[in-house]
């Protein structure tokens, strides 16, 4: 292991020796101590280790020889002790739920396949009955022949022959812990309906689509004799495990980012995650039920409480206990004593209080039923509750961490209304060369397609002769924001994403709203520049703080008099919601000088009303993300300038319109849009506000230009002085050499 023979890079290109050294036996390898000296090999007998440590056996008698032929002394007593390989199964039971809760964070942060592989392995360790101790991947790595697929060949397994062919053709695979884990999981997992998903998740983990040609048949790439063995192994894996054209196309479409395929797979894998977690909870509930029944029967015997036949009594009490023992509690019961004594709770404790109270009430009801069933004067409710509490299954790990991860799991596992749907795997985050936007009159939404060459389109599976592959269908603001957050848009050379927007054939309020190709690119740049890369603050999670952190307001993009909010909370989730201002009644000049002026007043007179601010706040309430007065959100407003045919220089139109918008809904101060009672009182004409914004912009540009000229003059002066200094030094050197 220290020589790197068992590192995951054999199968996974992302692997490394450091990565392998930090994995643990719950999920992959046993924890390897990161110490100043290398660790002691597992193969040394347990009873021999103390003798080596204290130096009873002479160091000179220990020689090692590497595969390269180099031999020499090894001071065994100076090696760090890894400890025993064996793990108690109860340790796996206690850590199962915490592992699931922590892996759920990967599910909500776009790494479902790897999370499922880890959780299925934990489920296997919890449910296997073949051995008294849980399976150790380290033992299987040292002795691959001990795997059940070789010792006890499963009859009729659909993938057994494929696994055997892979190892016959590529014996190096048995050195890889991920391959050992995959083979053992696939051949021993009790749920046969999960086999296909295990293969799919493993294919995603090893990036199998790297060797797939995106063609109509999704064939594997052609390799020559000089190709690396890893690529040849992946091609062989693809042909053996994906012989069906339907499964191949699903794998290919998922890698290409097909929205329909990705959503279907995401739903299926999330369901598999929940089912696995429920099966483990059921197993732990059974273990807790057995212990609780033992405690109660022992208590009955000690207190002289009479009952009928033992078997019938156990069955009766077991049915009564089901509601209590089937729920695996992760909360800190010390919170209950705080509630009873009316001691103030922290935010994290308040998060647990409701669950603990409901759980306590359920236990009281259960005790009441048992008391009624076995009516006895000797029965003590407190002692009976103690029997139940001690019998219920107790999970390991820090209580606060478990509660935080459970809260994160409950909130983020399911897709929320208005939430921007992102790719379920990080491998799907890659920029598109050209994105085409077309209007669908049936849904009144816009289709977003990835444009490719005609040859690539045929390989992509497009049969209608077009060169565009469908990605998803959304409203204009939602779709542009989704492209930005999904990594489909690149603004830095050389791979700059281009946009193309087709003219709609049917004219509606949505399709007829003027919004050009340049506006699409500008809005995408505005959204990408405004929402910087999010960093989760751990202390906010600990304090259970949840609030709106950023709001980007896009006006008149989906249609005229429609305001769209792109919202980000402090947990990094993003949403898009719309506000319709068209039905807000305002008194503006019906007989304005021009139709364009009428449009300006029609929009901005509505935007400055208290009703518009109320709708702004209601839209945020729908997202269930509160505003925090202590942490006001970062904010920007952007108005589509194409609704107004202004007699201005084109480069100033956006500044003119957005200058008015920023005066009505300013970024900071008491008049910000989230302050309902502090709407600014505007006395100036809208045109005057817009002209002031242009003048302010010009002054700012002049200031920047002056600073730039000053810097250039300073640089020129320094350069001139430096050149003169060089010339003087050269002249002095020449004069010195002549003398």
Q: What pLDDT does residue 361 have? A: 85
Other CB atoms within a 10 A radius of the CB of residue 144 amount to: 19
Residue 441, both tokens: 């009159």
For residue 419, report the phi and psi dihedrals to the nearest 5 degrees. -75, 140
| H or E element in which residue 552 lies | strand 548-555
- Nearest CA to 526 among 654, 368, 355, 340? 654
Write the DSSP assignment of 20-40 as a string of letters.
HHT--TTTSSPPPP--SSPBP
CA distance 489 to 482: 10
Q: Helix or strand or coil: residue 401?
A: helix
CA distance 395 to 388: 15
Q: Where are the alpha helices (DSSP H) in 463-516?
A: 476-485
Longest dimension (CA), the chain: 123
Ramachandran sector of residue 505 (left: φ over 0; alpha: ψ -120 to 50; beta: rest): alpha
For residue 569, report the phi and psi dihedrals to the nearest 5 degrees. -95, 175
CA distance 176 to 206: 12
For residue 570, report the phi and psi dihedrals to the nearest 5 degrees. -75, -10
Verify cis geometry, omega within 30 degrees of 0, for the bond prior to 494. yes
Residue 335, both tokens: 């919170």
Q: Give whole-number Cα distances, 739 to 329, 729, 735, 736, in Å.
A: 94, 15, 6, 5
Q: What pLDDT does residue 23 have? A: 42
Whether 527 and 482 have beta carbons less than 8 Å apart is answered as: no
What is the pTM for the complete model shown?
A: 0.71
Site of tokens 């892979």: 166
Residue 265 makes CB contacts below 8 A (sequence gap 6+) with: 200, 250, 254, 424
CA distance 318 to 312: 10
Count helices and strands (H / E) in the chain. 25, 10
CA distance 150 to 164: 9
Ranges of residues in the chain whose predicted pLDDT is under 50: 1-43, 66-68, 80, 82, 85, 454-455, 457-458, 463-465, 590-593
Count Cα atoms within 13 angstroms, Cβ side, for 314. 12
DSSP class of residue 472 equals E
Q: Where are the alpha helices (DSSP H) in 208-346?
A: 229-241, 245-256, 259-303, 310-325, 334-340
Q: What pLDDT does residue 454 have? A: 45
Residue 467, both tokens: 């060169």
Q: What pLDDT does residue 9 have? A: 40
Q: What pLDDT does residue 356 have? A: 80
Other CB atoms within a 10 A radius of the CB of residue 408 amount to: 19
Q: Helix or strand or coil: residue 574?
A: strand
Write the DSSP assignment of 624-685 as a string of letters.
T----TTSPPEEEEEE-GGG---SS-HHHHHHHHHHHHHHHS-SSSTTSTT-TT-PPPP-S-
């Amino acid at each position: 292991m220290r020589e790197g023979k068992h590192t995951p890079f054999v199968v996974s290109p992302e692997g490394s020796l450091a990565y392998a050294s930090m994995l643990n036996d719950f999920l992959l390898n046993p924890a390897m101590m990161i110490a100043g000296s290398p660790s002691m090999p597992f193969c040394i007998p347990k009873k021999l280790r103390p003798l080596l440590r204290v130096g009873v056996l002479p160091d000179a008698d220990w020689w090692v020889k590497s595969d390269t032929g180099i031999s020499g002394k090894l001071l065994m007593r100076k090696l760090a002790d890894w400890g025993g390989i064996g793990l108690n199964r109860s340790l796996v039971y206690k850590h199962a739920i915490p592992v699931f809760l922590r892996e759920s964070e990967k599910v909500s942060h776009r790494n479902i396949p790897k999370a499922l592989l880890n959780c299925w392995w934990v489920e296997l360790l919890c449910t296997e009955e073949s051995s008294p101790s849980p399976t150790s991947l380290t033992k299987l790595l040292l002795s691959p022949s001990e795997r059940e697929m070789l010792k006890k060949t499963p009859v009729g397994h659909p993938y057994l022959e494929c696994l055997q062919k892979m190892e016959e053709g590529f014996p190096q695979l048995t050195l890889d812990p991920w391959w050992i884990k995959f083979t053992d999981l696939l051949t021993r997992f009790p749920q046969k309906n999960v086999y296909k998903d295990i293969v799919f998740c493993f294919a995603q983990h090893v990036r199998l689509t790297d060797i797939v040609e995106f063609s109509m048949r999704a064939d594997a790439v052609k390799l020559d004799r000089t190709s690396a063995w890893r690529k040849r192994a992946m091609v062989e894996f693809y042909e053996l495990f994906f012989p069906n054209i339907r499964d191949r196309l699903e794998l290919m479409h998922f890698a290409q980012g097909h929205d329909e395929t990705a959503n279907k797979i995401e739903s299926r894998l999330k369901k598999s995650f929940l089912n696995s977690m429920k099966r483990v909870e059921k197993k732990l509930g059974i273990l807790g039920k057995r212990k609780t029944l033992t405690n109660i029967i022992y208590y009955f015997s000690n207190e002289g409480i009479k009952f009928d036949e033992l078997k019938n009594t156990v069955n009766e009490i077991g049915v009564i206990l089901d509601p209590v023992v089937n729920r695996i509690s992760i909360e800190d019961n010390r919170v209950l004593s705080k509630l009873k004594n009316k001691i103030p709770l922290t935010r994290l404790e308040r998060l647990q209080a409701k669950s603990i109270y409901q759980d306590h009430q359920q236990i009281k009801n259960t005790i009441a039923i048992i008391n009624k069933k076995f009516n006895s004067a000797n029965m003590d409710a407190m002692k009976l509750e103690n029997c139940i509490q001690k019998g219920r299954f107790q999970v390991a790990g820090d209580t606060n961490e478990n509660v935080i991860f459970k809260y994160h799991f409950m909130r983020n596992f399911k897709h929320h209304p208005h939430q921007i749907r992102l790719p379920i795997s990080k491998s799907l985050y890659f920029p598109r060369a050209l994105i085409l936007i077309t209007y669908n009159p049936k849904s009144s939404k816009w289709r977003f397609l990835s444009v490719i060459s005609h040859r690539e389109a045929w390989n992509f599976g497009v049969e209608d002769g077009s060169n565009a592959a469908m990605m998803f269908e959304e409203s204009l603001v939602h779709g542009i924001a989704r492209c930005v957050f999904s990594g489909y848009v690149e603004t830095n050379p050389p791979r700059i994403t281009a946009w193309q927007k087709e003219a709609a054939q049917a004219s509606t309020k949505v399709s007829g709203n003027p919004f050009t190709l340049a506006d699409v690119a500008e809005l995408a740049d505005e959204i990408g520049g405004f929402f910087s890369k999010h960093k989760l603050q751990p202390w906010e999670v600990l304090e259970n703080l949840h609030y709106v952190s950023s709001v980007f307001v896009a006006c008149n993009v989906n249609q005229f008099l429609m305001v769209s909010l792109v919202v980000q909370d402090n947990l990094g989730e993003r949403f898009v919601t719309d506000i319709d201002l068209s039905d807000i009644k305002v008194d503006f000049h019906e007989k304005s000088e021009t139709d364009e002026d009428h449009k300006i007043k029609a929009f901005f007179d509505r935007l400055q009303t208290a009703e518009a601010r109320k709708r702004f706040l209601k839209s945020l309430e729908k997202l269930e993300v509160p505003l925090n007065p202590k942490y006001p959100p970062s904010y920007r407003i952007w108005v589509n300038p194409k609704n107004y045919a202004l007699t201005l220089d084109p480069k100033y139109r956006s500044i003119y319109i957005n200058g008015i918008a920023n005066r009505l809904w300013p970024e900071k101060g008491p008049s910000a849009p989230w302050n309902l009672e502090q709407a600014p009182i505007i006395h100036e004409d809208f045109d005057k506000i817009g002209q002031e914004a242009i003048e302010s912009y010009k002054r700012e540009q002049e200031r920047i230009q002056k600073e730039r000229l000053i810097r250039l003059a300073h640089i020129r002066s320094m350069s001139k002085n430096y050149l003169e200094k060089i010339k003087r030094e050269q002249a002095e050197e020449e004069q010195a050499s002549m003398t």
